[in-house]
Each structure stands twice: as C-alpha cells, then as structure tokens.
Amino acid sequence: MLGVLVVFILCWVTLWLFKREHITVLGIKPNLRRLKEFTSGFVLMVLFCTINLLGQAYFNEVSYIRNPDYGFMESLNGIWWTFKAALLEELIFRGAILYLLIKLLGVNWGCVISAAAFGIYHWFSYQMFGSGIIPMTYVFLLTGAAGWMFAYAFAKTKSLYAPLGLHFGWIIVSIVVFSAGPLGNSLFVIKGDIVELGGWEQLLFFSWQTIIIPGIITWYLVKKYSFSNKKSSLISEL
C-alpha cells in the first residue's frame, strides 16, 4: 500500500506544479454515478474475462477444478493484492500524466500515448526482453489495447472509478479465480495439460482481447457520453 500512497502524492504534486490543480480533478471523490461506473466496469470485465479463460480451456480440452488449499483468507489476500495492483497502475497510467496529456494533446492522442506506455510497461513487468520480437509485440498489443480501454474510460467519465472497475474486474478473475497470474495457484486450477492455442483459435482469443472487448467498451462510452452531453446542452438551452 506504500507504493499506492507514494504514487498518489506524486500525482498530487504533479498536478499542482504543472496546472495548479487539485488531485480531485482526477475524479477521486466518491458519488453515486462514479460508484455505478465502477460497478458496471467491474461486472462487464468479470464476464469478459470468464468467457476468455473458460473458452480457452474448452478449446484446450481441459477443465478447472477447485483448489482445496485455497481458502477464505487466501481469497481475501488475493482480492486485496489485485485491488492494490489495479489501483497503483491506474494512478500511474490514468492519473495525473494522462490528465495532462489530454489537456495538452486531446483525448485521442492522450489515450494512445497512455496505451503505448502501458504496453511497454508490461515488457518489464512480464520480463519480456530477450523473448523475441513476436512475443513482445503480442504482449504489447494485448496490454496496449487494455490500456486504451482504461484510458478512454477515464477520459469520457473524467474519473478513475470506471477504469479501476474495468481493470480490477479483469485481473481478479484471471489471478484470483483462475490462477492465471503471478500469485500462482488460486481458487480454481487447471486439470490436464494445457498447450498454446494455434491457428484460428489463437486469433479468436487474441481478437477477443485486443479488438472485441476494447471495441465494445469504447463504443459504449462514445454512445453513452455523447448522449449525455447532448442532453446537457439541450437542458441548458431550455
């Protein structure tokens, strides 16, 4: 939690130094709308990630079984770890830096730069250097697409709640529920030998994560907040 606190203070200082603005411009104060955005993002990504991992297991002809060594306290620790990880990355990549980029370059370019930085960051966090150009490109596109989705959610909602919900929803399922992460075996573990998917199956799940899910979220945000802006303009005219 110390890392989260340090990054939070750095965001505060950065905003004050460059724009003389308060940390609350990141939309951190809770209200009903923001809590709904967090919850909606969380539920959607829980659904999308579950489809992703169960779908891959189906095509690999393996199944998940309950891990008897993973109990209540382990689950709580896993949930807390994933929440801190999501919050830390959101503060870094969708905090003060993205806010300033949007002010300087606009929404689209700000989100693209944030997404690219998020993809490059995962080369380091996944220790990808030396693994070859194809695996590095694969990881960059996967995580960069997620970075775009989270950044665009911040830009449209003007709050960290929506991207945090999206991010937390995905990693809690992959790491805590289906053991696909740095914490090792968690609630459910794979029964059988899993191999890398190839051909159209790999393309399907790659597209699911890099095009379909970000596309759905982006489309929803565009439609929802364009309508909200038009409604606000109409009300102000009246």
- What's the average model confidence in pLDDT over 70-94? 94
Distances (CA, A) of 72 to 15, 173, 176: 40, 16, 12
CB 12 within 8 Å of CB 28: no
pLDDT bucket at 177, cuts 50 / 70 / 90? very high
Tell me the Cα Rg of the chain.
19
Question: Which stretch of 63-67, 172-176, 188-192 has the lowest confidence by average pLDDT?
Answer: 188-192
Give the integer Cα–Cα distance in Å for 131 and 139: 11
End-to-end CA distance of the chain: 48
Phi, psi of 66 (to 5 degrees): -70, 135
Beta bridge partners of 64: 190
Give the integer Cα–Cα distance in Å for 93 and 147: 8
Residue range 97-140, pLDDT digits in tens: 999 999 999 999 999 999 999 999 999 988 888 888 988 999 99
pTM of the predicted model as reported, rounded to 2 decimal places? 0.90
Q: What is the pLDDT of residue 62?
A: 87
Q: What is the pLDDT of residue 1?
A: 77
Q: What is the pLDDT of residue 130?
A: 81
- What's the average model confidence in pLDDT over 11-29? 90
Q: What is the pLDDT of residue 96?
A: 92
Distances (CA, A) of 237 to 98, 223, 234: 32, 21, 5
Q: What is the pLDDT of residue 109?
A: 96
CB 153 within 8 Å of CB 166: yes
Say if residue 229's pLDDT is above 50: yes
Average pLDDT, the chain: 89
Give exposure, 189-222, as e/b (b: 16+ Cβ within 10 Å).
Answer: bbeeeeeebeeeeeeebbeebbebbbeebbeebe
